[in-house]
């Protein structure tokens, strides 16, 4: 039996589909988590300017970069680490989560611990 998720927002159904189909709808919300052996205050701004990076966030000792083209961003991260003499400690590619799908479908955006409407 197929598993389906129903997304409701303000009492309205915004999507009904399998989790994988819902995630495929927003493949542009892929992300890469990366950590380096050295962190500086300027890194977040520098990483957000890499080619094909749509958004960058700091999460603890890691950076999360959102992209439509993970392979190009990985190449840029390797070049960035060589240029700045950093070592990449870890790197992980992630597809969109169901939370990413919900935020995309409802027009909401995460703000700290909660979710707020996008202006």
Q: Is residue 80 assigned to a domain?
A: yes
pLDDT of 32-61, one tens digit each?
A: 999 999 888 789 999 999 999 998 999 889
The total number of structural domains that make up the chain: 1
Q: Is residue 113 assigned to a domain?
A: no
Q: Is residue 12 assigned to a domain?
A: no
Q: Is residue 86 assigned to a domain?
A: yes
Separation CA 31–CA 37 (nearest Å): 20
Domain membership of residue 87 as a residue range: 27-95
pTM, rounded to two decimals: 0.68
90: domain CATH number is 3.30.70.1510
Q: Is residue 52 assigned to a domain?
A: yes
Mean pLDDT taken over the chain = 82
Q: Give the H or E element holding residue 46.
A: helix 43-48
Q: Which residues pair with 57 in a beta bridge?
A: 64
Q: Bigger pLDDT: 37 or 99?
A: 37
């Amino acid at each position: 039996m197929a598993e389906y998720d129903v997304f409701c927002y303000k009492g309205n159904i915004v999507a009904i589909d399998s989790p994988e189909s819902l995630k495929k709808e927003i493949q542009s919300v892929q992300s890469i988590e990366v950590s380096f052996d050295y962190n500086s205050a300027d890194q977040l701004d520098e990483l957000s300017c890499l080619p094909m990076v749509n958004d960058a966030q700091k999460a603890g000792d890691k950076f999360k970069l959102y992209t439509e083209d993970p392979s190009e961003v990985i190449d840029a991260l390797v070049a960035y680490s060589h240029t700045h003499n950093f070592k990449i400690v870890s790197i992980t590619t992630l597809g969109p989560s169901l939370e990413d799908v919900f935020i995309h479908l409802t027009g909401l955006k995460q703000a700290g611990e909660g979710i707020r409407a996008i202006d």
